[in-house]
């Protein structure tokens, strides 16, 4: 039998979920984004507790550590750092976002209200050097919660990269219900590289994961420069039901 998440959703929502203003947001198209994406295996024994019932844990368990710098957006430049738990909604691979640190207060608000991102203010840094790509995420008090890098860089084709859609637990303002919002960005790659992932430090508590999030074995790392479109919301899910029964289409 496929496993399902066993997260205590209300308890998680109390510390991480933001309020979304309905599901009719218009797209944002942002050019020249810089992305650093690391995949790591995590603890197989705790992944179920990091996912709502809707999501099916990946086997073996893995997580995505994802930092993006947007040089220009409708709310100005911002950088966002996220941890996503590898999973499936039905049969499709998705990343359940634990938390999104953002270094622009307007982006903190808009990303939550438009797409349900679990945003909090933070200090997020991404820098591409000649020999490595470095990213750091700190909370609003300046304490580091993630320090990572990609080394041994080599060029690849953008067609070699496939980033999964993300799932955000949010509370709908209209009816107060918790929902999982599926966000399906579109990427147009201009430059892409792969390399060796290295997580230097990770604060599990800061990602609303208690002591359950441990980066155990490196899998892959990519860095790219691309244009990103955050599109209309197409699907939402009931976090207490399997995705096959609890998914609702809200846009074509």
Half-sphere exposure of 76 (CA within 13 A, CB side): 8
pLDDT tens digit string along 90-121?
A: 889 999 999 999 999 999 999 999 999 999 99
Tokens 């860095």 found at: 223
pLDDT value of position 252: 65
Contact 201, 235 (CB under 8 A): no
Find the helix or strand (DSSP H, E) in which 29 lies: strand 28-41
- Stretch 55-70: mean pLDDT: 96
- Stretch 180-198: mean pLDDT: 97
Residue 1 has pLDDT above 70, yes or no: no
Residue 141 has pLDDT above 70, yes or no: yes
The CATH superfamily of 9-249 is Acetoacetate decarboxylase-like (2.40.400.10)
CA distance 170 to 240: 13
Q: What is the pTM of this model?
A: 0.96
Q: State how far the alpha carbon of 252 is from the alpha carbons of 65, 101, 158, 183, 210, in Å.
A: 30, 30, 27, 13, 37
């Amino acid at each position: 039998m496929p496993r399902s998440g066993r997260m205590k959703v209300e308890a998680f929502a109390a510390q991480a979920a933001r309020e979304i203003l309905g599901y009719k947001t218009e797209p944002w198209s942002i050019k020249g984004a810089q992305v650093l994406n690391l995949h790591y295996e995590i603890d197989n024994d705790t992944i179920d507790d990091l996912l709502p019932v809707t999501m099916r844990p990946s086997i073996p368990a893995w997580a995505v550590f994802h930092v993006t710098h947007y040089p220009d957006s409708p709310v100005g430049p911002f950088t966002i750092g996220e941890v996503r738990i590898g999973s499936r909604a039905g049969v499709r691979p998705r990343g359940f976002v634990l938390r999104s640190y953002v270094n622009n207060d307007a982006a903190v608000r808009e990303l939550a209200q438009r797409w349900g991102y679990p945003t909090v203010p933070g200090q997020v840094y991404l820098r591409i050097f000649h020999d490595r790509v470095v990213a750091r995420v700190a909370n609003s008090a300046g304490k580091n919660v993630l320090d990572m890098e990609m080394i041994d860089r080599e060029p690849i084709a953008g067609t070699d990269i496939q980033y999964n859609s993300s799932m955000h637990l949010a509370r709908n303002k209209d009816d107060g219900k918790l929902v999982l919002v599926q966000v399906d960005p579109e990427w147009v790659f201009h430059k892409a590289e792969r390399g060796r992932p290295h997580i230097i430090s990770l604060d599990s508590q800061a990602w609303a994961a208690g002591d359950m999030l441990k980066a155990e074995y490196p899998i892959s790392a990519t860095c790219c420069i691309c244009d990103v479109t955050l599109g209309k919301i197409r699907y939402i899910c009931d976090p207490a039901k399997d995705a096959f029964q609890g998914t609702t289409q809200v846009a074509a």
